[in-house]
């Protein structure tokens, strides 16, 4: 009797560097005895990532992508009021706004690549609007030019939640270079991770100095300058980032190969985001859109039966969250959220598994 357990295939699987390479960095921590408070490994990782991504010098490595959004709001000095954002994202985008006591106002999304529809932002601006928080969802670029033009017209700050955009380049430069502040996530599910982690990339030097204070309780030595919080990252997390760093290009290339195989197998079968000609994509996710929710659930049931677990990224549409007091209609987002999912995508996903996933999808859709 074959007792071998069938491997479960999840939507993602964290990349793990060779143990000895990670342990080499851990040995450095044990030798110098500094565990946190902007230690040498944190500084080294900030420098390497800033250089690799070709972003400005104001790169702040913090504890996670959600706190990055929260301290970005604080550093920009945004007054109480409304922040225009997208209903199509992970819940952290909206919860960061709510947690900091602002009101999220939703502008619906584009049906072709699911980013916020820049043409609809101006329609929801009011005298209380303070900022725009847009998301480069799945690593696709927002309409940066239009968003900035609108922000300049109404004197609004722009924050980009670029949690998915690590390694995506638009018109020859990192997507993290745009807006007043861009934030990133290095969570274990991301293509580059530090187990938990995030970053803020800040355009203005003075705002960067303020954010640096905010992330470490608002003081420098014994002098207290402002209200702050603890968003400092540990040396152990930085060690994982440094161990993963040499493999970034290989990881992205492997994800590209897998994505292209999915493309080949599912061409004409399923809806995909529209490609952007001026975007060098990072292959962060592989989203597909079904005809309707019934079809999605049918495919999920068949895949789950084979221990294959895609995810409903993103569901539900954030404007429908139960704790949003004033309901706002975003029909495109609500429709897409009901029938979109991301297929498994990680560097060591086998060709055999990809063919199996695609065969199940095609069989269920054609039935």
Evaluate whether 43 touches 212 at the Cβ level (below 8 Å).
Answer: no
Q: What is the rounded distance in angstroms from the CA atom of residue 128 to the CA atom of residue 31? A: 53
CB neighbours of residue 3 within 10 Å: 4
Where do the domains of the chain lie, and which CATH numbers do they carry?
19-245 (3.40.640.10), 248-366 (3.90.1150.10)
Q: Which helix (H) or strand (E) holds 243?
A: helix 235-244
- What is the block-wise mean pLDDT of the chain (367 residues), using blocks of 10 residues? 70 97 98 96 97 92 98 94 98 97 98 97 98 98 98 98 98 96 98 98 97 96 94 98 98 98 96 95 98 98 98 97 94 98 97 98 88
Evaluate whether 182 touches 176 at the Cβ level (below 8 Å).
Answer: yes
Residues 6 or more apart from 63 whose CB is under 8 A from it? 196, 197, 198, 230, 231, 232, 233, 237
Q: What is the rounded distance in angstroms from the CA atom of residue 248 to the CA atom of residue 23? A: 19
Q: What is the rounded distance in angstroms from the CA atom of residue 176 to the CA atom of residue 162? A: 7
Residue 237 confidence (pLDDT): 98
* 84, β-bridge pairs: 105, 132
Core vs surface per residue 144-164: b (16+ CB within 10 A) or e: beebbebbeeeebbbbbbbbb
Nearest C-alpha neighbor of 270 from the set 287, 257, 255, 258: 287
Nearest C-alpha neighbor of 129 from the set 84, 86, 95, 161: 84
Residue 3 confidence (pLDDT): 47
Q: Which helix (H) or strand (E) holds 28?
A: helix 19-32
13: helix, strand or coil: coil
Q: What is the rounded distance in angstroms from the CA atom of residue 55 to the CA atom of residue 58? A: 8
CA distances from 253 to 61, 277, 346 (A): 25, 19, 11
Nearest C-alpha neighbor of 150 from the set 170, 175, 124: 124
SS (H, E, C) 221-235: CCEECCCCCECCCCH
CA 317 vs. chain centroid, Å, equals 16
Supply φ then ψ for residue 195, to 5 degrees.
75, -70
CB neighbours of residue 132 within 10 Å: 28
């Amino acid at each position: 009797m074959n007792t071998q357990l069938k491997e479960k295939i999840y939507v993602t699987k964290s990349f793990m560097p060779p143990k000895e390479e990670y342990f080499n960095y851990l040995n450095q921590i044990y030798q110098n005895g500094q565990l946190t408070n902007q230690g040498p490994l944190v500084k080294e990782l900030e420098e390497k990532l800033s250089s690799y991504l070709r972003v400005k010098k104001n790169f702040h490595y913090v504890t996670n992508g959600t706190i990055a959004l929260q301290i970005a709001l604080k550093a920009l000095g945004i007054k109480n009021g409304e922040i225009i954002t997208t209903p199509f994202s992970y819940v952290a985008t909206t919860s960061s706004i709510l947690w900091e006591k602002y009101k999220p106002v939703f502008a619906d999304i584009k049906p072709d690549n699911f980013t916020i529809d820049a043409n609809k932002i101006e329609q929801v601006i009011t005298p209380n609007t303070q900022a725009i928080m847009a998301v480069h969802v799945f690593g696709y670029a927002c309409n940066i030019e239009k968003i900035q033009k609108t922000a300049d017209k109404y004197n609004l700050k722009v924050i980009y939640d670029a949690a998915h955009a690590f390694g995506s380049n638009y018109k020859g430069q990192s997507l993290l270079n745009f807006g007043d502040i861009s934030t990133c996530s290095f969570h274990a599910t991301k293509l580059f991770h530090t187990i938990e982690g995030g970053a803020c990339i800040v355009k203005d030097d003075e705002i960067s100095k303020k954010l640096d204070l905010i992330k470490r309780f608002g003081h420098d030595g014994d002098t207290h300058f402002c209200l702050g919080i603890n968003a400092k990252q540990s040396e152990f997390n930085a060690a994982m980032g440094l161990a993963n760093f040499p493999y970034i290009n290989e990881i992205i290339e492997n994800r590209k190969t897998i994505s292209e195989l999915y493309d080949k197998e599912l061409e004409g079968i399923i809806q995909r985001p529209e490609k952007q000609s001026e975007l060098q994509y990072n292959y962060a996710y592989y989203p597909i859109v079904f005809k309707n929710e019934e079809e999605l659930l049918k495919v999920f049931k068949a895949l789950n039966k084979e221990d294959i677990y895609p995810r409903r990224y993103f569901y539900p549409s954030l404007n429908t969250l139960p704790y949003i007091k004033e309901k706002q209609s975003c029909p495109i987002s609500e429709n897409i959220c009901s029938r979109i999912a991301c297929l498994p995508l990680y560097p060591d996903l086998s060709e055999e598994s990809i063919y199996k996933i695609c065969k199940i999808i095609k069989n269920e859709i054609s039935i």
